[in-house]
Chain A
């Protein structure tokens, strides 16, 4: 059975069906991310003064990842324009670039996650706090590269002039440790919402990359038999990809800079 309106516009909507479908899907995505953004706002304004982290994320790394995603948006739209201009070779090139950039984004994000998972806040029995990246740990001791603080509040605003510095190697006997937590989602409200928002976004990037990879590889056979339908598929996947970029445009300043 032939699927109707894959190329020609439906008389009542003026659009081919997939386009209406993707916009309805994107509308639901706006509400999904909107709900999480509103959660972020509530958590942030509800945090006690001075206890909302600032400067916990690596801004240069986040900036590079933003530029990577923006570049992937232009390569996506260029891939679609190449199809429209009947230049399949150029389409292949631009879509391969998009795929590489998507994987780069996920790779950089994984590096950032890893950095958080090896970052530890260790409260000692004498009340002092050691904060830094794990070097090694054994049954007897933990070695981190970081610094000591007297009050946990000193760890919250790392972009202020009074933020603790120093990255010397600190050896802490296990017997002196009261609690030891890494900077995973369980560490604080900020990291919980950070991992939720960026994790969901990363899943969208991975999902989009799978679709783009399919259309670049086995799915591109459709170009030979039905180029207009194939071009429409590229447009639909592109719309999703631009939405993913659009979400990141808000996530980056909200989580990294403010």
Chain B
């Protein structure tokens, strides 16, 4: 692998370590935030999911190298994101069908 110098990869490794520390911090932050009484549990859910999305983005972008991938991969992921979003919105839209007196958050 002559074209991949150790210097080049040591930069990558520093980045991986930074992401690793960020993920550890994010995990502890998620646990800590779950103990904060925001008043409405919906806020707790929103905070936890926001942190989870940030952590997942770090894993996907840096560990899975999605930040510097080929168009083909972006194409596959765009389709996936479209259908995944559709699936989630269908689920959220049909919550109006839930019986009265059930929880809404």
The yes or no answer to A4 lying at the interface (CB within 8 A) is no
- With A and B bound together, what is the CA distance between A45 and B97 in angstroms? 10
How far is B65's CA from A243's CA once the two chains are assembled, in angstroms? Answer: 12
Known contacts A38-B91, A52-B103; is A15 also within 8 Å of B70 by CB?
A: yes
By the criterion CB–CB under 8 Å, are A38 and B90 in contact?
A: yes
Interface string of A34-55 (1 = CB under 8 A from B): 1101100110111111101000
Known: A253-B30, A253-B34. A81 touches B80 (CB 8 A): no
Given A74-B16, A81-B16, A84-B1: A48 in contact with B101 (beta carbons within 8 A): yes
A78 pairs with B77, CB closer than 8 A: no
Query: Of all chain B residues, which has the CB nearest A82?
Result: B9
CA distance A19 to B91 in the complex (A): 32
Interface SS of chain A: helix, strand, loop or mixed? Answer: helix
Contacts A48-B102, A242-B64 known; A23 to B77 CB distance under 8 Å? yes
A42 vs B79: C-alpha distance when bound (angstroms) = 24
With contact pairs A70-B24, A228-B1 given, residues A38 and B80 touching in the complex (Cβ less than 8 Å): no
Q: How far, in whole Å, are A81 and B16 apart by their CA atoms in the complex? A: 10
| Interchain CA distance A85-B23 in the complex, whole Å | 25
CA A70 to CA B52, docked complex, whole Å: 13
Partner of B92, one of A41, A81, A84, A254: A41
Once the chains bind, are B103 and A38 in contact (CB under 8 Å)? Answer: no
Chain B nearest CB: distance from A217 CB in Å? 22
Q: Interface extent on A, as a size class?
A: 35 or more
Contacts of B73 in A (CB 8 A): 15, 19-20, 23
* A258 & B31 in contact (Cβ 8 Å cutoff): no
Could you tell me the distance between the alpha carbons of A76 and B64 in the complex, rounded to whole angstroms?
11
Q: Is A246 an interface residue (CB 8 A)?
A: yes
* Alpha-carbon gap, A42 to B98, bound state (A): 9
When C-beta atoms are compared, the residue in chain A nearest to B54 turns out to be A249
Number of interface residues of B (CB under 8 A): 54
- When distances are taken between beta carbons in the complex, the residues of chain B under 8 Å from A212 are none
Interface string of B1-25 (1 = CB under 8 A from A): 1001010010011001101100110
Provide the residues of chain B in CB contact with A76, threshold 8 Å. Answer: 63
- A19, A243, A246 pick with most chain B CB within 10 angstroms: A246
- Pick the contact of B31: A44, A63, A86 (CB < 8 A): A63
User: A44 to nearest B CB, angstroms?
Assistant: 7
Interfacial chain A residues near B105, Cβ < 8 Å: 45
Given A74-B17, A86-B1, A252:B30 Cβ within 8 A:
yes
Chain A residue at minimal CB-CB distance from B31 = A63
Q: Which of B77-95 contact A (CB under 8 A)?
A: 77, 79-80, 83-84, 87-88, 90-92, 94-95
- Most chain B beta carbons < 10 A, residue from A23, A52, A239: A23
Is the Cβ of A78 less than 8 Å from the Cβ of B13?
Answer: yes
Interface residues of B (CB under 8 A from A): 1, 4, 6, 9, 12-13, 16-17, 19-20, 23-24, 27-28, 30-31, 34, 41, 44-45, 48-49, 51-52, 55-56, 59-60, 63-64, 70-73, 76-77, 79-80, 83-84, 87-88, 90-92, 94-95, 98-99, 101-105
16 inter-chain pairs at a CB distance below 8 angstroms, sorted by A residue, are A14-B70, A20-B73, A20-B76, A27-B79, A30-B80, A30-B84, A34-B88, A45-B104, A45-B105, A73-B59, A78-B13, A246-B56, A246-B59, A257-B30, A258-B44, A258-B48
